[in-house]
Structure 1
Amino acid sequence: MASSYKSSHSYKQSPIIIFIFLSFFLILSTSTSPVFSEPNLSGGGGGGFVGAAAPPPANQTFRPLQELKKLKRIRSYLRKINKPSVKTIQSPDGDIIDCIESHLQPAFDHPLLKGQKPLEPPERPKGQDSSEIPETSQSWRDGGESCPEGTVPIKRTTEKDVLRANSVRRFGKKIKRGVRRDTMSSDHEHAVAFVNGDEYYGAKASINVWAPIVTDQYEFSLSQLWVISGSFGNDLNTIEAGWQVSPELYGDNYPRFFTYWTTDAYQATGCYNLLCSGFVQINNKIAIGAAISPRSSYTNRQFDIGIMIWKDPKHGHWWLEFGPGLLVGYWPSFLFSHLQGHASMIQFGGEIVNTRSTGHHTNTQMGSGHFADEGFGKASYFRNLQVVDWDNSLIPMSNLHLLADHPNCYDIRAGKNNAWGNYFYYGGPGKNSRCP
């Protein structure tokens, strides 16, 4: 073992070096701390954490120095992303919410934001809609907890969170192919409504919240709106917000309020939530990435969240609103190329990942897990679909297109009435007799 160590690291062979290494290895192997196995970096298979009692597979070489280097990288990342808090809240669902001084949040690590403070709220788009369905909130506030004024609530990221990812570098990022490109390719499946062919300065909708079953760690189910510009090549710009169930990202099956952005088609820029510098949060009542509560249930009470994204006409930044008038924060315009101007497409709907890890179509559900034709209380919905025009006004959708790229697995049906404006039902169970 000592000679192997020597050849790979070019150390001078001496009794002292051999003794030090053997002593170090003995201490490491007898420690009561957990042992971390080499995570699967290829994109499939099990998780990245193994208890101390579980030996590595027979065909796997134990490499303590490599593991320690990985843990060092993870801890360095966590020190960067988890800022010092003035208050910590333990959520009933297990999350830890840190109240961070707003000027210390991750956004201000960005070179173009260093030393700045969050901006004042912009003029809201003109136009309102009434909401007769109860708005939902977040689990961490169920006990009446909140963060002090001047701070923002941020879900703490842990070692276990990062170890679930396929690599440290890809933690908090979508795989490329996160937006519908065409109707035939990729393991991402959609049931969406979209508009294009005009200049769009934002979008708004109320999104029904469920807890769909996700059957594989590396799959997710989400319902969101997309603000899109650029081509579907390497220059794609998107801003996204809604709710998602993602066992890999969050370690559970709760629906969580999330955001995403990219300016290069998910290659190097952007991330989920506040896991990189970019999005600037101003609100002390909403934690991005935290679980949503309460949630809808079949033939029972329904709950939804209002999401609006729009471009501030004065400064050009893209702002996010959650629920009835809660301004969450903004994406600075300098993050983007095409979206520095306007969006060329707005998209609403559901998306799942189908890894076919069991050899057939996934059982991961979209929306409520029921098809669109079951209607209210059974199928999931989007209602009051609107876009923001050049005059910073909310206007009804026109020329709405529908797409379900695997309609036997997940489908979509649209309608319009006075109470809900433009709306649609969507979703499905995944694998069934017509979706093998």
Structure 2
Amino acid sequence: MMIARFVLSILIVAAIVSGSEFSDTRDAKVEKILKKLNKPALKSIKSPDGDIIDCVHMNNHPIYDHPLFKNYTIQMKPSSYPKGKNNESSDKEKQSVVTQLWTVNGKCPKNSIPIRRTRRKEILRTEYMQRYDKKNPNIINHPKASTSNSIHEYAQIQAKGKFHGAHADINVWKPFVQTPKEFSLAQMWVMAGPFSEVNSVEAGWQVYQDRYGDDNPRYFIFWTADGYHSGCYNLDCQGFVPVSQKFALGAAVSNVSTFDGQQYHISTTIWKDPNSGNWWLKFGDEFVGYWPSILFNHLKDGATEIQWGGEIINFKDGALHTTTRMGSGHFAESGYQKASYFKDVEIIDERDIHSSPKEGYSYMTQESCYNIRSGYAKVWGVYFYYGGPGRNLNCK
């Protein structure tokens, strides 16, 4: 008995030491990630929604952490903007003006950019930690992936050809998401190259509690240069170059549409700068920043596919389809003020001119769960309604 107790004591001590070592290793890893993501701030601003925005001097810009950009000269504004954009909108819907909530408590000094601070608790969330460990924050995120095994579901309009960018006004909602590890988003994809090594730059809004800690819709970007084997959201890795003094990636969208009520949208444009070749992003009237052309081997020559629409993750908890909603959570046929929409859907051609897509087709992973209906109207141009509630009598 004494020997047994002695052995048990040794095992307990070993377990404690082992647990302590694991905790120390994890803490060191977390601190390393936080130090990499959170740059020294000239000023920090507390947002009413709980975010902290750090104003980082341009000399400490995250892009300089990338080995390709050690002595890089940042392009502070695009050389030009594509022609032919119609900016009319009806009285019943409003563009989400890109004035983020944190700006009510201050603004960043000259020669600095606002960066949403990453918190320790965000890193410690299991899924988030795994993404950093694996340096692969996105499970295969493309409609050409096998739908039988994929957890991603879509309702999209797609166009193929030769493009220098795309535009859309993206309606904003706050969809219910079943679990923190699932998300619901609306975005544009600008892509080039074969699926296995596709280059993609993406932008829109998403609700993703596991990433942001709440269920607010938030502005986001994503990019990959190798078929989603690597790449990242927002500024989680070096690549995107923010230049706006007023806009922080990952911050909440201020105005959200309501059922049978006021509608809001985000005017979103991604285009290839004709001089530098960089891929610029504009939300509303704000030039947010760009993806340098040197990051890509296919997109440097232009895009070959544009996608607009919604995406959700379905983890099938309990072996049932998720109840995570896409868009407003209502099917496309519900129409205005009920279903979510994209309007003024346009491509930017090789002459750098906005125009309606000549050919396009819809893609739905499971029409009984989330669907899409497109059309054309004089004021809205090419548009589509999309979305759905997820699990229902016909979607199991």
TM-score, normalization by structure 2: 0.91
1:266 to 2:213 alignment = no
1:187 to 2:151 alignment = yes
1:341 to 2:298 alignment = no
Q: Where do 5+ consecutive residues of structure 1 fail to align?
A: 8-20, 29-61
Q: Tell me the equivalent position of 2:74.
A: 118
* Within-5 A mapping of 1:176-255: 176-181=139-144, 184-185=147-148, 186-196=150-160, 198-233=161-196, 235-255=197-217
Q: Tell me the equivalent position of 1:75.
A: 31
* Within-5 A mapping of 1:144-163: 145-163=106-124
Change (3 A) 1:210 1:138: farther
Contact 2:46 2:102 in 1 (8 A): no
* Within-5 A mapping of 1:326-337: 326-337=286-297
SS at match of 1:168: helix
Distance in 1 (CA, whole Å) between partners of 2:330 and 2:38 is 38
Change (3 A) 1:4 1:108: farther
Report the alpha carbon displacement of residue 107 of structure 1 after superposing the two structures with TM.
1.4
Report the alpha carbon displacement of residue 167 of structure 1 after superposing the two structures with TM.
5.8
Report the alpha carbon displacement of residue 148 of structure 1 after superposing the two structures with TM.
2.0
Distance in 1 (CA, whole Å) between partners of 2:353 and 2:59 is 31
Equivalent pairs counted in the alignment come to 384
Which letter maps to 1:236? V
Change (3 A) 1:421 1:67: same
Of the structure 1 ranges 124-133 and 331-340, higher mean CA displacement relative to structure 2 is found in 124-133
Selected match of 1:374 from 330, 334, 339: 334
Q: Tell me the equivalent position of 2:371.
A: 411
Which letter maps to 1:199? K
* Within-5 A mapping of 1:11-410: 63-121=19-77, 122-132=79-89, 133-136=93-96, 137=98, 139-141=100-102, 143=104, 145-166=106-127, 168=129, 170-171=131-132, 173-181=136-144, 184-185=147-148, 186-196=150-160, 198-233=161-196, 235-268=197-230, 270-323=231-284, 325-410=285-370
Which letter maps to 1:129? N
Report the alpha carbon displacement of residue 4 of structure 1 after superposing the two structures with TM.
10
Structure with the bigger percentage of helix: 2
Report the alpha carbon displacement of residue 173 of structure 1 after superposing the two structures with TM.
4.7
Which letter maps to 1:168? M
Q: Tell me the equivalent position of 1:429.
A: 389
Report the alpha carbon displacement of residue 200 of structure 1 after superposing the two structures with TM.
0.9
Distance in 1 (CA, whole Å) between partners of 2:249 and 2:215 is 16
SS at match of 2:121: helix
Report the alpha carbon displacement of residue 322 of structure 1 after superposing the two structures with TM.
0.7
Change (3 A) 1:243 1:99: same
Contact 1:201 1:311 in 2 (8 A): yes
Contact 1:201 1:392 in 2 (8 A): yes
Q: Tell me the equivalent position of 1:16.
A: none
Change (3 A) 1:314 1:139: closer
Distance in 2 (CA, whole Å) between partners of 1:65 and 1:3 is 21
Q: Tell me the equivalent position of 1:49.
A: none
Distance in 1 (CA, whole Å) between partners of 2:255 and 2:325 is 19
Report the alpha carbon displacement of residue 3 of structure 1 after superposing the two structures with TM.
8.6
CA radius of gyration, larger in: 1
Distance in 2 (CA, whole Å) between partners of 1:183 and 1:68 is 40
Contact 1:240 1:259 in 2 (8 A): yes
SS at match of 1:240: strand
RMSD: 2.4
Contact 2:168 2:268 in 1 (8 A): yes
Contact 2:341 2:385 in 1 (8 A): yes
Which letter maps to 2:221? T
Report the alpha carbon displacement of residue 6 of structure 1 after superposing the two structures with TM.
9.9
TM-score, normalization by structure 1: 0.83
Of the structure 1 ranges 127-136 and 282-291, higher mean CA displacement relative to structure 2 is found in 127-136
Of the structure 1 ranges 240-249 and 107-116, higher mean CA displacement relative to structure 2 is found in 107-116
CA deviations on 1:410-430 (whole Å, 9 max, x unpaired) are 000001011010000000000
Report the alpha carbon displacement of residue 5 of structure 1 after superposing the two structures with TM.
12
Report the alpha carbon displacement of residue 149 of structure 1 after superposing the two structures with TM.
2.3
Q: Where do 5+ consecutive residues of structure 2 fail to align?
A: none
Contact 1:95 1:140 in 2 (8 A): no
Of the structure 1 ranges 248-257 and 112-121, higher mean CA displacement relative to structure 2 is found in 112-121
Report the alpha carbon displacement of residue 217 of structure 1 after superposing the two structures with TM.
1.7
Which letter maps to 1:210? W
Which letter maps to 2:206? Q
SS at match of 2:327: coil
- Give % identity: 41
Report the alpha carbon displacement of residue 340 of structure 1 after superposing the two structures with TM.
1.2
Contact 2:45 2:105 in 1 (8 A): no
